[in-house]
Amino acid sequence: SFKRKLPSSTTSYPGTRPCPSAPSILISSSGIPSLDDVLGGGIPLSHSLLVLSPDSYSAYASLVHKYFIAQGLINSHQVCVVDPHAKQLVDSCMWVRGTLGPSSSIADDEQEADRGDKIKIAWRYESMRQFETTVSHSQAEEEYCRPFELTQQIPPHIVDKVSESGQLSLIWYHSTQGISRLQSILQRIDDVLSRTRAEHSKATTVPPVRISIPSLASPHWGDLDPSTILRFLQSLKRLLRQYSFACAMISLPAHLSRDSVEEGWIRKLAWLSDSCVSFAAFSGDPSLEDLFPRHHGLFHIHRLPTPHSLVPPSDRFSQLRGIANSANGGGGENNLAFKSTRKRLVIETLHLDVDGGISERRT
Amino acid sequence: MIPGFLDFDELRHGGSLYLITDDVASPATFLLHRAIHASLKKASGNRCVIVSSEDISYWKAIAIRSGVNLDDCQRSGTLNFVDCFDALSLPSKPFVLSQNEHDLSLSLLFRRIEECLAAHTTGTPFIVIDDVASLEWTGLSPTEVSRFVRALVSLARRFDATIIARQHVLGSPTPNLATRILLELCTVHVEVLPLATGRSGAVTGEIAIHRGHAAGRDQELKVVPRSRAVQYKLSDHSALFFQRGTGAGIL
């Protein structure tokens, strides 16, 4: 399995590590190991990640933001959440199990499926390793990406503690509307980042700052036309370039996460963000649910981060995408899908079942 | 490998516009870097003006991997960097998002480019416009963007400069106004395309070269039709070009 070599002189804050293809840039975990893999190791600092969720009946983008926030809080990163309901979002974040000892990372519902399959495997194949469709969460990686479980909720006393200490900032402007509010938010983010830089000007490392905007341009934000949203994304992207210790995750509501907004909308969003992915759930399409019963939606990559490079690190280091493995043979990229088990959100490679499936017999 | 392909050694001057169109699945950033590095490495005293909304640190990081130090070039005057984002923002409101047409204007950007060209009279000027499309996406009217493009070409003719402009396409069969203007004014149209079969580990994308409307009867212009598009594979700071089906011998 791939193992990254870190330069001996690397000094990075907990929860960050040098980008494998550009060591001068630090990356930080999103909280989801498989998403980190797709991004090439994590979210590069001074970059933005746009997470789209075009399905109106699910909230996967919000779930990804909770992972992002929880990962920041547990690693003592500074976290800013920009939303009128930021408090409710943070209170519902997942957390780690009480004791961080060795524990099974396989959820119970996944284990039951494995036991069912074992009965049908012929004896000559029993010794073979099971076909892996996602990256595993090794114990060595737990310092970088904590093993959050969806069954665990962040303790209220931790939320109170990080709020009082200033580690967590909830940003919203009720008195302003539309464009003025966007401007105020950008100014506030700039103030937070410049203050953080000033406070740690003599330190060797600066604690990373995570900015979460879980529902940009939702109805609470007022009337915002598409060009204003794009300008905001561009402005935020430029703002992050000035601060090497900050990163942002932004999401749009479902109705703004589709190409139907205007011509080439998703492409425009991708161009004006550093990276853009979407979790397209099957909730609105029963035919896809029947076709892919083991997954909850398709995972699309619109743009990947290229920190100080022409090629995304993901092309070389992502196991899920499979491009690195296919470089010599000229094969293509794997199709990806996601599922939310009882304990975690996972992105996996998507493969069509054998025609008829293993449980059906056709004559 | 195809020697000399798009190495930008023999550029036509006198206001020639090289239009590069790309898609988010196949960004043409590498071609812009290739052109800039080729221009700055020459000893003949080329002058380069980069107009971009991306921070200059990104350009520097890529250039240094190709052995080009943009800091030294700025100090010597062979490189001017015009920050498109700053030029379109008011000093008191660095992140202005106003829809007021008087707040956002390309006149200031145009004047800055003109100042850079007029600052030095030696060497052959070379203008790289990173991204024309986002000017329109972020609030400027199509009419103003197309006027800006026409004014820029006229400016380039006045200074005998070459322009390389990148325009993002959105997959529509009908190009927008700015793209139509650019196609009408360009001498060469370089089309960077993603693979029709999706992303691959061995090939990053394809390139086709078309004669622009302004090329006239220039017989020396080598075109590469889409049917025989040249394929390329990117590394961290450069690209390899090869004909279809010959990738195994190169890679």
DSSP A312-334: -HHHHH-TTT-TTTTTTTT-BPP
Q: Where are the domains of chain A?
A: 16-96+140-349
Inter-chain contact B29–A310, Cβ cutoff 8 Å?
yes
Mean pLDDT of B81-101: 67
Residue B181 has pLDDT above 60, yes or no: yes
| Chain segment B48-67, per-residue pLDDT in tens | 899 998 989 999 999 998 88
Residue B165 has pLDDT above 90, yes or no: yes
Mean pLDDT of B120-140: 86
For the record, the structure tokens of A112 come out as 């039951």
User: Residue B184: what are its φ and ψ, rounded to 5°?
Assistant: -70, -35
pLDDT at residue number A140:
62
Residue B43 has pLDDT above 70, yes or no: no
Q: Where are the domains of chain B?
A: 8-198+209-242
Closest to A232 (Cα-Cα) out of A279, A189, A191 = A189
pLDDT at residue number A288:
87
Cβ within 8 Å of residue A324, ≥6 positions away: A315, A316, A317, A318, B201
Each residue's pLDDT expressed in tens, for chain A with a length of 363 residues: 554 544 444 457 888 999 988 889 999 999 999 999 999 999 999 999 999 999 999 999 999 999 999 999 999 999 999 999 999 999 999 999 975 444 444 444 554 444 444 555 555 555 555 556 777 666 667 789 999 999 999 999 999 999 999 999 999 998 888 888 998 999 999 999 999 999 998 888 899 999 999 999 999 999 899 999 999 999 999 999 999 999 999 999 999 999 999 999 999 999 999 999 999 999 878 788 888 889 999 999 999 999 999 999 999 999 999 887 655 555 678 899 999 999 999 999 998 766 554 444 444
Does an H or E element contain B193, and which?
strand B188-193
Q: Does B221 touch chain A (CB under 8 A)?
A: no
Q: Does B248 touch chain A (CB under 8 A)?
A: yes
Which CATH class for the B8-198+209-242 domain? alpha beta
pLDDT at residue number A101:
41
Closest to A98 (Cα-Cα) out of A21, A151, A55 = A151
Distance from CA of B153 to the nearest CA of A (A): 25
The superfamily in CATH containing domain A16-96+140-349 is P-loop containing nucleotide triphosphate hydrolases (3.40.50.300)
**Chain B residues near residue A217 by CB distance under 8 angstroms:** none
Distance in angstroms (rounded) separating the CA atoms of residues A245 and A243: 5
Residue whose tokens read 């322009």: B163
Residue B6 has pLDDT above 90, yes or no: no
Closest to B182 (Cα-Cα) out of B22, B24, B48 = B22
Of residues B124 and A66, the one with the higher pLDDT is A66
**Chain B residues near residue A235 by CB distance under 8 angstroms:** 85, 95, 97
Cβ within 8 Å of residue B100, ≥6 positions away: none
| Of the partner residues A190, A231, A311, the one whose CB lies closest to the CB of residue B139 | A231
For the record, the structure tokens of A221 come out as 């934000």
Inter-chain contact B62–A327, Cβ cutoff 8 Å?
no
| Chain segment B202-247, per-residue pLDDT in tens | 889 999 999 988 887 666 778 899 999 999 999 888 888 988 876 5
DSSP-derived letter for residue B90 is B
pLDDT at residue number A135:
77
For the record, the structure tokens of A198 come out as 């000033």
Residue whose tokens read 């060595």: A140
What is the ipTM metric for this complex?
0.92
Residue B182 has pLDDT above 50, yes or no: yes
Distance from CA of A159 to the nearest CA of B (A): 32
Distance from CA of A248 to the nearest CA of B (A): 17
pTM for this prediction:
0.89
- Asked whether the beta carbons of A16 and A45 are under 8 A apart, the reply is yes
